[in-house]
Structure 1
Amino acid sequence: MEILTENPSLVLPPSIATIGCFDGVHRGHRYLIQQVCEAAVKRGLHTTLITFPIHPRQVMQADYQPQLLSCLPQKTALLKQLQADYCLMLPFTHELSRLSAKEFMNMLHEQFNIQALLIGYDHRFGHNRSEGFQDYCRYGKELGMEIIQAQALIENGVSISSSTIRKLLKEGNVKDANHFLGYSYYLDGKVVNGYKVGRTLGFPTANLRPSCPDKLIPEEGVYAVHVYLKEQRFAGMLNIGHRPTLNNGSDLSIEVHILDFNADIYDQSMRIEFVQRIRTEQKFTGLNELIEQLQQDRKEVRKLLLE
């Protein structure tokens, strides 16, 4: 796949396209893109995915916090794994937001040589969001652009969507979120200095500063995770929360105890992949009770990941 940015000299071959934020590039997105590729083969067209470098609502609302499943570098890497020919990163601007659906479709047709457009089952675009699929078909007929309606990926009555996955992560249900994503949800960033209390308890931790401040942090609690350091994988016990037993205040910490590991990794890059939540965050009566619970947590993590 070739990643493209809009520029005056950009010329694409005749293509069928689909449009979306593709946040997370989850199984629902992959099913949509598979439909684009199949339709392209039947029509002898190339495939183009049209997306945006930042979430459109961040342009329209300065204080909007998107809680992304994937930041741009992560989204781009995931999209590159797919079979489409092109991915067009279309800058979302106030001017673009004021285009009607018909004007937007005409721009795609005239400027980017989009001959057919596959539209998600519930996708709406253009300034007038009340327009729907039948309106798009009418505009397409006038513009000489074929409009095709995509099918949703539904499992057990649930449509696989970014909003569904966000809800699961906010509930701490990373196991089902991973199933819908088609891969393990992860956070990456740098290891930074923390309070260094864990080592005094026999549970030294690495504190993560996420590389993407807009990425969704799952619900507070203790998780079994895989930890990647310099392409090596380790089993880990992750805590997300405010450490109430230690009076950590309002600061949210993301700290992982790496099993069977003892090395200085400050300022190194680290990636944490979620496997399963073990329990919610709790306040204990004292350090002895906390240590006892951490020992139980570690046994459970070891059983899940190493046995």
Structure 2
Amino acid sequence: MGAGRRMKVFHFGTDSIERQAGASLTLGTFDGVHLGHRHLLNRVLEGKHPTVVTFEPHPVAVLTGRPDAVPVLTPLEEKLRKLDLLGVERVVVIPFTHEVAAIEAERFLREILIDTIGMNRLVVGFNHFFGKDRRGNVEFLRRKSAEYSFELVVVEAFTGDGGSVVSSTGVRRALSERRLEDANSFLGHPYRMCGTVIPGDGRGRSLGQPTANLEPKNAAQLIPAEGVYAVRVYDGEKRYDAVASIGRKTTFREGGSLCVEVHLFDFSGDLYGKSLAVEWLHYLRPQETFATAEELAAQMQRDGEAARAILARNASRGAQADTGTTGPPAPCS
């Protein structure tokens, strides 16, 4: 278990799993642990020994052979942190492989969920499926609940304030379309990404706006769409308002790799090698190519002023606050 963690985490195939008879259980990827997931998890928490079975890496990445097929919202450690704070007692992490995908639904149900973990109450979404050829659907589970004497709870889709169904796909789409307010509303808190500060070309400092260049901690995690954003940055427990840029620095060169940079307001010091957490709060503008460095510097100044104003307004009315179920941002390890 990690430092401060109350929840027990078992890695299937590696750890000896403590069987808990009568366990209330759900299974899935739970990427983002968004409000729809929490709606379902609340039903799990109504039973004894609330347990989550999850998969790592994302099944679609394995089945397609493309690690980037589904950019993840929450790397495993962040997912475990959120589940712990929600009150889950146990998590079983199953390494997802083609061999796991080939397990028949009934065998998975009987040998893993019931015999190994101790499930006696299963909570699933209305469109849930598992096992070979997706045969472990709700209809299958209704039949098997009588045969194996377990309670089946089927949870309908959860809709947000705007009437949209909350889903991981919806969060990814909102982030890719620069709709941060929608993404954060679905998540119940600001989207969060950890990165390590690496050396850059020093261009920001020369323009009077020193920036920290971030290399994402997890290469599989989704980076929001290119643009300029108002963000908050955490260096351990220290919090800074900031402006962030995601782009390819076309003012100074053609194309290039994607860069994530943050300019921390009212900060001076050395950040190289540090791990920073970034909360993405508001989209400001698209990336632009400027004719001169002076034009870019002037726009960066305007971006900073706009970000400060937006973040101050958010702070004054408590906007984008966490729902209270995922706790304060944890330091990036």
In the alignment, which residue of structure 1 is the partner of 2:168?
162
Q: Is the contact between residue 105 and residue 135 of structure 2 (CA under 8 Å) also seen in structure 1?
A: no
Task: Structure 1: state its 5+ residue gaps.
Answer: none
Superposed counterparts of 1:145-156, under 5 Å: 145-155=150-160, 156=162
In structure 1, give the amino acid aligned to 2:10: L
Structure 2 Cα separation of the partners of residues 303 and 269 of structure 1 = 26
Q: Distance in 2 between matches of 1:90 and 1:129?
A: 17
Between the aligned residues of both structures, percent identity stands at: 35
From 68, 83, 86, give the equivalent of 2:87. Answer: 83
Say which of 206, 217, 226 aligns to 2:212.
206
Does residue 1:196 correspond to 2:189, yes or no? Answer: no
- Return the alpha-carbon distance in structure 1 between the equivalents of residues 239 and 312 of structure 2: 12
Report if the CA contact (8 A) 1:24-1:70 is conserved: yes
Check the 8 A contact 1:224/1:305 in 2, yes or no: yes
Distance 1:255 1:150, change over 3 A: same
State the Cα distance separating 1:157 from its structure 2 match.
2.7
Corresponding residue SS for 2:86 = coil
Separation in 1, partners of 2:107, 2:242: 51
User: 2 CA distance for matches of 1:267 and 1:192?
Assistant: 6
Q: What is the deviation of 1:57?
A: 2.6
The partner residue of 1:138 within 115, 138, 143 is: 143
TM-score, normalising length: structure 2: 0.86
Match of 1:177, SS state, is helix
Q: Select which of 72, 76, 81 maps to 2:76.
A: 72
Aligned match of 1:48 in 38, 48, 51? 51
- Paired residue type of 1:23: D
1:241-252 equivalences in 2 (<5 Å): 241-247=247-253, 249-252=255-258
Distance, in Å, in 2 between the alignment partners of 1:118 and 1:230 is 36
Code of the aligned partner of 2:204: G
**Per-residue deviation, 1:9:** 5.6
Moved more, 144-153 or 78-87: 144-153
Distance in structure 1 (CA, Å) of the matches to 2:96 and 2:126: 22
SS for the counterpart of 2:33 is coil
Match of 1:227 in 2: 233
One-letter code aligned to 2:19 = V
Matched, 1:106 2:114: no
1:266 match: secondary structure = coil
1:21-62 Cα offsets, whole Å, 9 max, x none, are 011111111111001122x1xxxx322111123212333333
Q: What residue identity is the alignment partner of 1:151?
A: E
Residue in 1 aligned with 2:19?
11
The code of the aligned residue for 1:219 comes to: A
CA distance in 2, matches of 1:285, 1:121: 54
Please give the secondary structure, in 1, of the residue aligned with 2:205. Answer: helix
Q: Which runs of 5+ in 2 are unaligned?
A: 1-6, 314-333
Which amino acid in structure 1 is aligned with residue 121 of structure 2? A
In structure 2, the CA distance between the partners of 1:288 and 1:8, relative to structure 1 (3 Å rule), is: closer
Counterpart Cα distance in 2 of 1:198 and 1:171: 26
* Aligned twin of 2:318: none
RMSD (Å) for aligned C-alpha atoms:
1.7
Task: Please say if residues 23 and 119 of structure 2, whose CA atoms lie closer than 8 Å, have aligned partners that are also in contact.
Answer: yes
After TM superposition, what 4+ stretches of structure 1 lie above 4 angstroms from structure 2? none
Deviation at 1:172, TM superposition (A): 1.3
In structure 1, C-alpha distance between the alignment counterparts of 2:295 and 2:178, rounded to whole Å: 24
